[in-house]
Amino acid sequence: MSLKKLRIYNNLISTPRIIITCLSAIIVRYYLMMSKYQSVIANHVEVSTPLNSWKRVSEGLYLLSLNINPYEGDLLHETPLSLYLYKNILQVFQGKIHLAFITLDVTTAVVLYFTTKKFTEDLFVEEEENKATYAKDAEECFLKPDKLFKSSYYVLLTYLFNPYILFSCVGYSTTVFYNLYLSVMLFSMVHGIPVLCGVFLAIAASVSFYPVVLVLPITMYFKYAIKSHTKIIVNLTSFVVTSLLIFVLCSNFGTDFSYIRSVYGCILTIPDLQPNVGLFWYFFTEMFEHFRELFIYAFQINTTILYLIPVSLKFRKHPFLLTVAVNFIITIFKSYPSVGDVGFVLSLMPSFSHLFPFSQQGFLVGTMLVISTSLAPILYYLWIYCNSANANFYFGVTLSFAVAQIFLLTDLLFSQVKRDYMLKYGKDRKIDGEEGILCLE
């Protein structure tokens, strides 16, 4: 199929339809922000964590206006550069912060749309070039252009109307900024812009620390998808230089290095045990103090490098999937996750619509997500306000929420393995005359 015909397929969704979708999302967000539900949503622990609460940012900005170091206590966990950015955004939008969050959230959705649009184009072109190497009876596994290229629009829809993303935006969670950084990083990665990719990876890592491990998947992308060693070097150089620049700027804005303890120390040592949708808070609440350091090392290794090397080796030929998978692992196991983090990775799932026929746990995962999301605020209210439940009830819900994400991720990765097998060997699973067993290696 010619590139011209490919672009015709890829433009099945017209620009007016995208504009109408974005306007609808803006109206929904604005209505919720102006309603009485805004404060209710913003105060939920599933939405606001110690790291992304706008209330804490507001207090930090107020302390800064009084020439008081906002990092002296245990209030603020945003970097000085982020605080400076928020201050200027408030000035640009003249204090109407809801307009800033709406603008950034819709911008993220549009960036993800163009990211997945480029990804599906490259995926289709790659398959067209390699069709001669596929098994003869693997036609049913081939990509269907009319469905594949609609996936970018579904990503747009999923992000804009995902309840997790809506809650994050309406609740003024600074995860909205973090998601924008990640989306621009992905956009520049698939479009082969190593400088921009390195810059936004450094910005995302300065905010949350964990995205540092995305260096390896991005390197895999430039090596196997872009096939350019020069861009790998440029990307790594821009990442290192930007990280050093951010460190210098933060030191100047913060006048000292106290922000390191408040920002990265909080992420790594988990001093604030406020409940959230993650797994850290319960374990460290119940743990004996003399075991704390051991489990901090164990949990942080689990979040960062434990799965990185094996997953990268197995899916190095699918670097975009690898990047999303590593980000998904970070989302599940990070110390202070929120529903905004989960919503971001879930919104990227339609870009892998070609793997859905091979998945097996969609219904189970969907049911678990719906039930755990519905029960979380109820059980938290019973625990904290009614005193008729305890931490075990709420942790059971967060554990179910994490297990659902794990099932989704493993199902997605296994679907890719099954599709690769069928493209190479066809429907017949007999190897040397015996029935083969398909398994992850």
Is there a domain that residue 440 lies in? no
The pLDDT of residue 437 is 64
Which residue from 423, 411, 336, 334 is spatially nearest to 368, judged by alpha carbons? 411
CA distances from 69 to 72, 89, 263, 268 (A): 6, 21, 14, 22
> What range does the domain containing 143 cover?
3-427
Residue 434 lies in a domain: no
**pLDDT score for 436:** 63
Q: What SS3 state is found at 50? A: coil
pLDDT recorded at residue 12: 56
Quote the number of domains for the chain. Answer: 1
pLDDT for the residue 109:
96
**Residue 435 is assigned to a structural domain of this protein:** no
CA angle at residue 222 from 216 to 227, to 5 degrees? Answer: 135
Would you give per-residue pLDDT tens digits along the chain (441 residues)? 555 665 665 565 567 889 999 999 999 999 999 999 999 999 999 999 999 999 999 999 999 888 888 888 788 899 999 999 999 999 998 879 999 999 999 999 999 999 999 999 899 888 888 888 888 877 888 888 878 878 999 999 999 999 999 999 999 999 999 999 999 999 999 999 999 999 999 999 999 999 999 999 999 999 999 999 999 999 999 999 999 999 988 887 755 678 888 899 999 999 998 999 999 999 888 888 888 899 999 999 998 899 999 999 999 999 999 999 999 999 999 999 999 999 999 999 999 999 999 998 999 999 999 999 999 999 999 999 998 888 899 999 999 999 999 999 999 999 999 999 888 887 766 666 666 665 655
Assigned domain for 422 exists: yes
Residue 436 is assigned to a structural domain of this protein: no
Residue 18 lies in a domain: yes
- d(C-alpha 154, C-alpha 143), whole Å: 17
Encoding tokens for residue 283? Answer: 């374990």
Whole-prediction pTM value?
A: 0.93
**Within a 13 Å sphere around the CA of 248, how many CA atoms are in the beta-carbon half?**
6
CA 407 to chain centre: 16
Beta strands in 205-295 (DSSP E): none
Per-position DSSP letters for 287-311, written without gaps between them: S-GGGHHHHHHHHHHHHHTTTHHHH
The Cα–Cα gap between 193 and 218 comes to 11
What pLDDT score was predicted for residue 425?
81
Per-residue model confidence (pLDDT) at position 134 = 85
374, burial (CB in 10 Å: exposed 0-12, middle 13-18, buried 19+): exposed
Q: What's the pLDDT at 255?
A: 56
Q: 42 near 170, Cβ under 8 Å?
A: yes
Considering the domain boundaries, does residue 219 fall inside one? yes
Is 438 inside a domain boundary?
A: no
